[in-house]
Structure 1
């Protein structure tokens, strides 16, 4: 291995591995972030394979994997209202597996067949770009995908544009841009800040690359021709960057292990760490007032989906609602700046507005009950009717009846539609309460009058 190869390969591997882990740590439950992270981690493994055996069939195949994962990212960004959304997200993995198998048996330039799913997914994304947020995301992602495809053509086809390691580094840069764009989309969807949290993690990653990547590169140069040493150094760099990218989940896992016998301490520390991790990602309060009606409705739906997740509620812009301020003021002075209490009060506010949807009388399954049932039992109580694992213990008779009704008579698509409509009703109630308390929400920060959410 030459000095130039190690100087490029180690940082390319390190930063792609870090960003992949960072995306996983942002929201481990997000399939979109998992797909983007898989593309970055696959590229990192491809860099190691390329360093060990340049232009080998395995290295070439591994470089095709990010394109297939990128196709999954594109279909994951489609608006849920798109007719192809469900089919594309269900069939993406199967189609990618087929094309990967075909690419594995084809030599050299034939492996470019792996670009077909990416091309199809990007066509779909551009077709529905009006429903993708932020607005310029589709075009930016398509431009970066085109650059990645061009770089893959240069690597797999007999085209000489200079040192292959430089083209490999250019592919890594394209993937880093893709990961950044996906992080932006996730932050916009959640109503969170990205810059502060990402900058913090990037600074830690840069320090780790300098302290760990440099010695690893020098070790590989000092022991040329020893694959075991090369692999071991990349493993060390990968472990360190994984700890940086997955700092929050790793810390929580170590706490569960260290305080296995002290549940109270474990829960207290988990709450404090969730609050600490949420602070860099919370939207600035003055920007919350500038929410328009459509975004307010969308964030209300997301907060209802995250009703049982304190960490996500801590990052929700709705945590700064005047209704939350009023409830905290009623509990005593000096409580408004305590994030965990704000999350608890936001949960109480949402619960109150969901209960407003409850019809008079005993539990029922008629048409007038469907909105309340879909939100109260599936969001507030956290029931998951279509999961096979046991539901929470201690359910009352009405909850058991609702669970059985969902399983027997309510299709998934109908439940999702009812939850969306019910969340719009809750958002309308919150909005009316909001503008009646603080008229600034009628005009927002920019002084533009906004319409009330429909319902």
Structure 2
């Protein structure tokens, strides 16, 4: 083993593993972050495998798999309506499994077939680029894909080029940039700040790479030919990088273990830490007054989807709306307190959609029903195991109605349309002009289509 191998492999492994953990820790429920983290994690494992067994089939497969995870992240970024997204998501999953089998079965450069789903995903992203934010995302991802394909092709080539370590490092740089771009896209779509939180995590990741990665690389260089020693060093680096990327979540787990017998103290500490994390990711208050109607609609729809998650609501720019400010007057101003008031505002806005009279499932009730029962109450009418414990009579009737007469795609479309109505009410309070938000269909058109 030459000095170049651990000098490239260890930092590439450490930074890729750190960024994968950071993306998962940032918001585990978002598929776009899961796919990006999977791409980075498989690359990191591939680096370790290549270091132990250069050119082995297992290592080649692992270094090709990030393309499939990358393709999944691109598909998750597509701005699609619910009826459009379901077949594309299903098709992407089936094709991903098919190409995974092909990557394992094909030899050498034939494994470049893993790039096909990525090419398809980027093609769709370019077709919908007018709706993609940030606007430069398709171009940046395409450029990184070209560089990744070039480096991967040289790495899998049967020709002896003598620069495998540098090619692996180049692939790692590409994937780190892609991970950063995915984080930017997620933060933009969610209305959150990225730079302060990522800067703090990056400093921790670099510190872990230097303090643990350098001794690991030196150990691997001084004890060449011992695969067990190399794998142990990669394991130590992986643990340290994971701690740097998952600091907040690990801290909460430690509190649960150490303070298991003091629920009040544990709850207070959790609130303080969550407030601190939210402060790093909240947008500046002045930004809310400068956003346009389409972004305001997207933020409102996201807030309704996250109604039950107070942590996500605490990071929403909508917590700076004037109506929230008025409700907080004279009380402690903390991110979670703002999130609770935003939740109350959203609940009142949904209640305002309720038509007069007893509960019904007529066409006039569809917007109220889909937001009240699916967002505010957090019920999933399409769950296989539906528990009716503690549900009101109205909730049971609504769940039964959704299951029997409303398809999942129609319910999601209604939810999008209802979010437009709520967004228009909030936009008026914000000081926007009183007109229908972009994309909101006329009431008569909706009634005719869904009758």
TM-score (norm 1): 0.93
Following the alignment from structure 1 to structure 2, what is the Cα–Cα distance between the partners of residues 303 and 278?
15
Taking the TM superposition and a 5 Å limit, the aligned residue runs for 1:236-385 are 236-329=236-329, 333-335=330-332, 337-385=333-381
Which sections of structure 2, spanning at least 5 residues, go unmatched? 441-451
Secondary structure of 1:313's aligned partner: helix
Following the alignment from structure 1 to structure 2, what is the Cα–Cα distance between the partners of residues 149 and 355?
52
Q: CA deviation at 1:271?
A: 2.4
1:152-177: CA deviation from partner (whole Å, max 9, x where unpaired): 10011134555110011000011011
Q: CA deviation at 1:391?
A: 4.3
1:241-293: CA deviation from partner (whole Å, max 9, x where unpaired): 11111122222223333333443333333322221111111000111111111
Structure 2 contact 82–413 (Cα < 8 Å) conserved: no
Per the alignment, residue 228 of structure 1 pairs with: 228
Change (3 A) 1:83 1:393: closer
Q: CA deviation at 1:393?
A: 4.0
Following the alignment from structure 2 to structure 1, what is the Cα–Cα distance between the partners of residues 26 and 323?
28
Aligned residue-pair number: 439
Q: CA deviation at 1:42?
A: 0.3
TM-score (norm 2): 0.93
Change (3 A) 1:258 1:407: farther
Structure 1 contact 327–345 (Cα < 8 Å) conserved: yes
Per the alignment, residue 75 of structure 2 pairs with: 75
1:165-192: CA deviation from partner (whole Å, max 9, x where unpaired): 0011000011011101100110011001
Taking only aligned residues, the RMSD between alpha carbons, in angstroms, comes to 1.8
Taking the TM superposition and a 5 Å limit, the aligned residue runs for 1:398-409 are 398-409=394-405
Structure 1 contact 27–33 (Cα < 8 Å) conserved: yes
Structure 1 contact 67–114 (Cα < 8 Å) conserved: yes
Per the alignment, residue 437 of structure 2 pairs with: 453
Per the alignment, residue 445 of structure 1 pairs with: none
Which sections of structure 1, spanning at least 5 residues, go unmatched? 436-440, 443-449
Per the alignment, residue 438 of structure 1 pairs with: none
Secondary structure of 2:249's aligned partner: helix
> Structure 1 residue runs of 4+, over 6 Å off?
none
Structure 1 contact 82–128 (Cα < 8 Å) conserved: no
Structure 1 contact 383–392 (Cα < 8 Å) conserved: no
Per the alignment, residue 93 of structure 2 pairs with: 93
Following the alignment from structure 1 to structure 2, what is the Cα–Cα distance between the partners of residues 36 and 384?
27
Q: CA deviation at 1:390?
A: 4.6
